[in-house]
Amino acid sequence: MTTEHPSITRFREEHARLGGTGEVVILPDAAHTAALAADALGCEVGAIANSLLFDGDGAPVLVLTSGAHRVDTEKVAATVGVRRLRRATPELVREATGQVIGGVSPVGHPAPVPTYLDRWLARHPVLWAAAGHPAAVFRTSYDELLTLTGATEIDVE
């Protein structure tokens, strides 16, 4: 009998509470990058919805972006109304999300985090996002991700 990692269990509970419908898939190995996740799932890297936590003037900012994109931090900083946006430290990621880099899910954080959704992801009918652990992902759609997170839609490039 195997026990599920507590962060995946917490994700499943929050996902269900919010009305999420997509299946959670546990990959055989951790997928710390969009390319590894896409290879494991047999999908395009652009269909991976990366949850990237940034430090926006000392406060966490979550950007859900396509695995095929790089976030233009100057453009996004101006869009979300902060002076500077930089990658969050591993400590800030854990504090703000309760999860580790590579496994940050779009939902299920200890407190609300301002969340922004890359409009480009709408091009894919099926999206995959982390489910609270580097080896766990869940199936979703752009509209469901928008509903689950309450995100603001933005362009990241």
At residue 1, the pLDDT reads 47
- Spans of the chain, pLDDT less than 70: 1-2
At residue 112, the pLDDT reads 95
Over the stretch 23-61, which tens digit does the pLDDT of each residue have? 999 988 888 788 888 999 999 999 999 999 999 999 999
What is the spatial distance between Cα 34 and Cα 50, in angstroms, rounded to a whole number? 7
State the pTM of this model: 0.94
Q: In the chain, what are the domains?
A: 6-154 (3.90.960.10)
